[in-house]
Structure 1
Amino acid sequence: MDSTHSDKAGDFSERVEQVNPSETQEIPNNYYKNKLFIGTCGAVAISLVSGTGAFSLAAPVLNSINNDLGPDPNFVWIGLVNTLMLACGYIIVGRLSDLCGRRYFFVGGNTLGLVGAIVCSRASSITNLIGGNVLLGLAASVQTSIPFVMGELVPMKHRFLVTGLFYFFAIPCAVFGPAISYAFIEHTSAGWRWIYYMLIITNGVATTLWAIFYHPPTFVMITRKTKWQMVKDFDYIGFALSIGGILVFLMGLSWGGSVHPWKSGYVIGFIVVGLLSMVAFVVYENVRKLPDPIIPLHLFSNIPWVVNIVINALAASAFYGFSIVVPQMVFGVWTSDQAYGSIVACSSSGGFIMGIILSGLARFLGPLKWQMIVCAVISTALLGSVACATTDNMHTVLGLLITGCVFCGYIEGSTVTTSSLAIRDQSEIGIAVGVGATTRGIGATIATTIYVVTLSNRLATTIPELVPPALSQAGLPKSSITDFMLALQSGSFEQVAGVTPEIIATGVRAYQQAQVEAFRTIFFVSIAFIGSIVILAFFMPDLKSKMSDDVRALLRGKKERERYIEDIEARRQAAEPVGSRGDGQQADDMADEKLGARD
C-alpha cells in the first residue's frame, strides 16, 4: 500500500497531526502559502536552471573553450564527465535520500554545483574544466530531480501538473543555451567564462533557498535505525557493482568514435566489463537479499513501471539525438550566421521542452495509455517526414520537426512523472525515479551513439558520391579536388588551384546536398525508436487509482519537527512492553502504524 503523510486543515505552523498512512487527509489550508513551500518551489526552479545550464550552455561552445585553454584533445571530456556523473548520480541521490532524508542531499548537491562553477570559472586548463564538470554533473543529478522532490510534497493527482509547470524554468538553458553561450562569447570581455559566472549566481541562490526553506522529513522521522546502523548496513558491494558498471559501460559507449576508435580495446573492454559488472550486481542482490539494497530489484517485477521507463528512454533518445544532429544540419546546410543559426538550432529542444510542459495536463486528458499511443503515432509520422529535407525547405522542415518534438516531449514528460506514480511503495519514490532517469541516460547514450555513427557512415558515402563529380563537371581539375574537399572544412579556397567563384558555389551546393542525404537517414532511424513506443504504450500502467489526494511528505518548521519527533519517541517507548522481541522491532512497527511516521 502506498505510504501517505498529510495533515488535517489547520494552522500549519503550530499543529502536528499524526495520521494512519492508509488514510487520505486534507493538506492544511495555508500549506501552499507557507514560506517553507514557497521557498522550496523557488529553490527547485533555480536549481533546474543550474542543472540544465551546466551542460546545455557549455556544449555548444566547447571548441571555443578549447581554442582558449588548449588546444587539448581531451576537451571532449568536458561534456562526457558531466553526462556520466549525471546518470550515476540519480541512483545515489534517489536511494540514499529515500533512506536517510532528502534535506542535506539537496543542500549539499547545490553546494557542490556552486563549487564546480567556481572551479570552472577560474579554470586555466582543460583539465581544470573537466574536474569542475565532474562536480557540476553530480550536482545536476540533484538539481533535476523534480519528479520526486516536488512530487512527494503535493497530492499524487497533481504530480503531472507540478512537473509540467516547473519545466518552464528549463526553457532558458535547455532551449536557448546555444544563443546565450554565443552571446556571452561575442558581447562580454570574459567570454565563455560568463557561463560559469551565471552558474555561480544561480547555484548560490539555490543553495541558500534549500538551506533556509527545505525541511522535509528527517532521518529520525523516516527510519528506526541509528546512523551507525545505516552505515554498517549500507550495500557497499551492490553500490560498487551497479554504479561502477553503469559508469564503465557509459564511458565505453561515449569513447567510441570520439576519444578512441570503435575497434579499440579500450572501448570494447569498458563496454564488456560494464555489462559484466551489472550482471554481477543482479546476481549478488538476488543471493544476498539485503534489507536495503542500493537498487531494490523488486521494482523490476512491476512490469507496467518497467514499460514506462523504457518508453521514457526511447523518447529521450530522440531529444538527445536531435540535440546533436539538428545544430549540425542548421550550420551545415542552411546558414553560416552564428547568431541566427544558434536560434534556429534551438528548434528541436524547444519543441521537446514545450511538450514536457504540456504533459502537465495528462491527468485531465483520459487514460495515459491512449495519450501515449496517439502522441507516438503523430510524433513518428512528423519526425519521419523530416526526411523530406532539402537545401531549400528549411521552414517546412522546422515546422515538422518542432511539432513532432512537442508530441515526443509530451511522452517524455508524462513518463517521467509516471515513474514516481506507478510504483507499489511510495517510500521508494526516490530510487524509482532515479533508476528511471539512469535508464533514460543509458538509452539516450546508446541512441546518440547510433545516430552519430550512422551520420558519420552516411557522410563517408554521400560526400564522395556527390561532391567530386559536381566539381569535375563544373571544370575543376581533378588534381585540385582533394584540396577543395579539405578547403570545405575551413571555408578558405584561396590555395585551391583552378578554382573560380562558380566552381566554389557548385561545390558548396553539392556538399550541402550530400549532408542533406545523410541527415535524411537519421530521421528514418528515429522512426525505429519512437515508433516502438506505439506498441509498448499498450502496456502502460493504469494510474486511475493513483490520482488521489495522498501526500508523500510535508515540509515542517523547527518547532513542529521537534514536537513530531518527541511524540514518535514517546509512543515508541510506550509501545515497547507490548513487543516480545528483544530488539523492540515489533513495538516500533506498532508505533509506526499509529503515527504514520514512515514518510
Structure 2
Amino acid sequence: MEPEKDVQTASQWVEQNPDAENLKHTLPEEDELHGFQTDLEHLPAGYYRSSFFLGTMFAVGFGLCAAVGGFGLAAPALALINSEIGPDPNINWVSFVYTLTLSIALLLVGRLSDLFGRRWFMIGGTCLALIGCIVSAVAQSVPTLIGGIALIGLGAGAQQSFSFVSNELVPMKYRFMINGWIYLWCFPTGGFGAAVSKAFILYTPKGWRTCFYLLIALNVTSGILYFFFYYPPTFGMKHRIRTKAQMIKMFDYVGAFLFVSGLIVFEIGLLWGGGVYSWRSAHVLAPLLVGVAILIAFVLWELYAPLQEPILPMKLFKNPHYVAAIVLLGLGASVYYAMAIIWPQMVAVLFTDDGGANMRAGWLNAIPGFAIVIGQASAGALSAQIGKARFQCMTVLSIGGAFLAATAYSEPSTLVGSACLMALSSLFIGWNEAVCLTNAGIEIEDQQEIGTAVGMAGSMRSAISTVASSVYVVVLTNRLGETIPAEVPAAVVAAGLPASSVVAFLTGFTTGDFSKVPGLTPKILAVGTAAYKLASAHAYSTVFLTSIAFTGIAIIISFWAPNVDHKLTVEVATTLHEKAGTIVGESKPGMGNASV
C-alpha cells in the first residue's frame, strides 16, 4: 500500500512549485488543500469487513432508528398523550419541536464535525437524545414532554447525519447503496412506527411511555457502538497547522447565533399561526417578520464578513445542482412529516368508528411511513444502476405528486383506494428523497466539507417540512371550520334533532360523549356521524389538493437536479483509524486490496 500523501497548506504548495508564484494571490487562505484521502484499491484487504467499519455502520443504524422513532412513535399518539397528561392546547408542539430543533442541529453538527472531528459529536448527540428519551418517558405534563422531545430533536441532529458519516467512508460509487442499507433501519420506528406505537398503547402496561423505553434501549446500543468502533480522523489529523484554540477563536459565533435565533423565531411564528393565535395577530406577525430579518442578516453576514471559518460557506449556493438537490430533499420529506400528522387523523375520522383506537388503525396509520422507507431503500439499491438521477427525480416526483393529489377523492367508503394512493405517492416521493440526499453529498467541490453540505441539506429538509406541515394543518383546521358547520347541522336537524341541541351534538365529536345531547336518538346519531365523516372528507380533500403547490414546485426544480453518473468513482473521502492513528487493518501483515 502506498503511504498516505501529506496534506499541504496553500503556501507550502506554492513554495514547492516556484512556477506557480504568480498564482499565489488566487489561492484560498486555508489550512489545507483538500482532496480525496484514498481510493478503494489502496485500502487494506478486509477493511469493509473489519469490526470498526461494521460496528460504525450498526451504530449509525441503531442511532437512525432511535432518531426516527423520536418523531414516528410519538406523533400518532398525540391525542391519547394529551388526554393523559393534558389537556394542553400546545400538544402539537410535541411534533413541531422535533423538526424545529432538528433543523437547527443538523447544520451545526455537520459544520462543527467537519472542523473538529466527528467522533465526539456522534457520541454526544446520542447521549443528548438518550436524556431526552428519559425525560419524555417520565413526563407528567405536556410542557415537560415538549422539552424532552426538544432534546431528542437536538440529538437527532447527529443521529440523522448518517448520510455524511457513512458516505465519506465508502467509495463514491457505493454511496447510494450504503444509504439504501441504512434506510432499512427506519422500518421499526418509521415504517411501522404508527403500528408499533399503537401496539405499545394497547398491549403494554406503560402504554405510550413504552415507546420511549424502546428509544432508550436503541440510543444506549448506538452510543456503545460509536464509543468502541467509530474512530474517524481526529482534529490533529484534519489540521496539520492549526490548533484547537485557534479554531475555536476563528469559529463563526455571530453566524451561528444569527442562524439559530432566526430559525427559531421564524418557526415559532409559523407554528403559532392559525392555531394558538390568529395569523393576523402580533403574536404571529412579530416573530415571522423578526425571524425573516434575522435570517437575512445571517446571509449578509456570511457573504460579506471577513470570516476564516464561516458557519455556512456561501460558495455552496453557487452550485445550482446542489441547491436543487437540497430543496427537492425538503419538498419530498415534507410529505412524510405532514402525512404523519394528517393521515392518522384522517384514518381516525373517516375509516374507523372508534376514533382510531384499535390496532387496525395503527396498521393503516403506518402506510405513509412504510411506503416512504420502501422508496428510500429501493432508490439506494437501484438508483446508481439506473443512473440519470435528474430524470429519476423528475419521474418519481411527477408520479408521486399525481397520486398524492388524487387522494383528494377520499371518502368514508374509499378506504382501499385511499390507502393505495397514499402508499404509492409516499413510495415515489421517498425515492426522490433518497436520491437527493445522496446527491447533496456528491455534488460539492470539496469532500472535506461533506458534513457542512449535507448538514445544510438536512436543515433545509426539516425547515421546509415544518413550513409544509404548518400549511397543511392550517388548511385542514380552516376547512373543518367551514365544512362541518355547513353540512352537519342541516343533516341532523333534518333527521329530527332539535336545533337547540346542535352545538352539544358537535361537541360530542370532540369529547366522545353524546349522552347529554337532548333529543338524540340512535338514528339521528347515525345520520350525524355519516354527515360528520363526509364533511371531514371534504376538508381533507382540500389538504391533498394543496399538496399540488409543493409537488408542482418540486417538479419544476427537478429540471435542475444533478446527474452524478460521472462522479461515481472508487475514491474514498476519509477512513477509519485505529487508536494509534493508522488506517484500520493497515498495520496487519499480508494486506492486499480492500473489498466491499
The yes-or-no answer on 1:274 pairing with 2:291 is yes
- Find 1:334's aligned residue among 351, 358, 364: 351
Corresponding residue number in structure 2 for 1:130: 146
CA RMSD of aligned residues (A): 2.0
- Indicate the residue corresponding to 1:4 in structure 2: none
| 1:107-122 correspondence runs (5 A) | 107-122=123-138
In the TM superposition, what whole-angstrom CA distance separates every residue of 1:405-440 from its partner, at most 9, and x where no partner exists?
111110111101111011111111001111111111
| Match 1:230 to one of 218, 230, 247 | 247
How do 1:386-465 residues align onto structure 2 when only pairs under 5 Å count? Answer: 386-465=407-486
Instruction: For residue 54 of structure 1, report the CA deviation from its aligned partner.
Output: 1.4
- Of 275, 278, 281 in structure 2, the residue corresponding to residue 264 of structure 1 is 281
CA distance in 2, matches of 1:260, 1:496: 30
- Report deviation, 1:25: 5.0
CA distance in 2, matches of 1:419, 1:464: 47
Paired amino acid for 1:329 = M
SS across alignment from 2:311: coil
Q: Distance in 2 between matches of 1:143 and 1:166?
A: 12
Assess if the C-alpha contact under 8 Å between 1:318 and 1:529 holds in 2: no
CA distance in 2, matches of 1:92, 1:411: 25
Deviates more, 1:198-207 or 1:94-103: 198-207
| Count of aligned positions | 551
Q: Residues 327 and 460 of structure 2 are in contact (CA less than 8 Å); yes or no, is this contact kept in structure 1?
A: yes
Whether 1:254 aligns to 2:271 is yes
SS in 2 for 1:423: coil
Deviation (angstroms), 1:480: 1.9
Equivalent in 359, 371, 374 of residue 351 of structure 1: 371
Question: Which string of whole-angstrom CA distances, capped at 9 and with x for unpartnered residues, describes residues 188-234 of structure 1?
Answer: 22222222222221111111100100000110111131011011111
Whole-Å Cα distance in 1 between the matches of residues 584 and 468 of structure 2? Answer: 51
Note closer, same or farther for the CA distance 1:509–1:123 as it changes in structure 2 (3 Å cut). closer
The C-alpha deviation readout for 1:105-145, integer Å capped at 9, x for no partner, is: 01111111222222333334444333322221111111111
Change (3 A) 1:67 1:475: closer
State, as a whole percentage, how many aligned pairs show the same letter.
Answer: 39
Aligned partner of 2:556 among 520, 535, 547: 535
**Equivalent position of 2:70 in the other structure:** 54
Distance, in Å, in 2 between the alignment partners of 1:486 and 1:285 is 52
1:490 paired to 2:507? no
Query: Take 2:40 and 2:346, find their aligned partners in 1: how far apart are those partners?
Result: 53
Q: Which amino acid aligns with 2:333?
A: A
Task: Describe the SS at the equivalent of 2:424.
Answer: helix
Per-residue CA deviations over 1:451-494 (Å, capped at 9, x if unaligned) read 11111221122112221121122122222222211122233222
Identify if the C-alpha distance between structure 1 residues 59 and 37 changes in structure 2 by more than 3 Å, giving closer, same or farther.
same
Q: How far off is 1:343 after superposition? A: 1.0
Give the equivalent residue in structure 1 for 2:496.
475
Give the secondary-structure state (helix, strand or coil) at the position aligned to 1:290: coil
SS in structure 1 opposite 2:580? helix
Secondary structure at the counterpart of residue 391 of structure 1: coil
- 1:400–1:125 Cα change, 3 Å: closer
The equivalent of 2:44 in structure 1 is 28
Residue type at the aligned position of 2:485: P
Structure 1 range deviating more: 454-463 or 89-98: 454-463
Q: Which residue of 2 aligns with 1:499?
A: 520
Aligned to 2:539: 518
Structure 2 partner of 1:85: 101
Checking the alignment, whether the CA contact within 8 Å between 2:578 and 2:584 is kept in structure 1 is no
Contact preservation (8 Å) 2:111, 2:451: yes
TM-score of the aligned structures, taking structure 1 as reference length:
0.88
Q: 1:493 to 1:129 in 2, by over 3 A?
A: closer
Q: Distance in 2 between matches of 1:403 and 1:221?
A: 46
> Which residue of the partner structure matches residue 299 of structure 1?
316
What secondary structure is seen at the aligned counterpart in 1 of 2:571? coil
Equivalent residue letter for 1:449: S
Pair 1:72–1:398, CA change in 2 (3 A): closer
List gaps (5 residues or longer) in structure 2. 8-34, 586-596
Distance between the aligned counterparts of 1:249 and 1:225, measured in 2? 36
Letter in 1 for 2:366: C
Shift of 1:160: 0.9
More displaced stretch, 545-554 vs 182-191: 182-191
Work out whether residues 190 and 369 of structure 2, in 8 Å CA contact, stay in contact via their aligned partners in 1.
Answer: yes
Give how far 1:62 is off. 2.9
User: Which of 338, 342, 349 is the equivalent residue of 1:321?
Assistant: 338
* Distance of 2:515 and 2:321 partners within structure 1: 62
User: Taking structure 1 as reference, are residues 517 and 128 closer, same or farther at Cα in structure 2, changes over 3 Å only?
Assistant: closer
Distance 2:584 2:432 in 1: 43
CA separation in 1, counterparts of 2:427 and 2:303? 41
Give matches, 1:99-248, under 5 Å.
Answer: 99-223=115-239, 224-248=241-265
| TM-score between both structures, scaled by the size of structure 2 | 0.89
For 1:512-591, what aligned pairs fall within 5 Å after superposition? 512-561=533-582
Note the C-alpha offset of 1:172.
0.9
> Within 2, Cα distance between the matches of 1:286 and 1:493?
61
CA shift, 1:446, in A, is 1.3
Contact 1:318–1:530 (CA<8 Å) still a contact in 2? no
2:10 is aligned to none
Q: 1:562 to 1:527 in 2, by over 3 A?
A: closer
Tell me the distance in 1 between the aligned counterparts of 2:367 and 2:92: 24
2:39/2:171 contact within 8 Å kept: no
Q: Distance in 2 between matches of 1:228 and 1:349?
A: 44
CA distance in 2, matches of 1:450, 1:71: 24
Partner of 1:466: 487
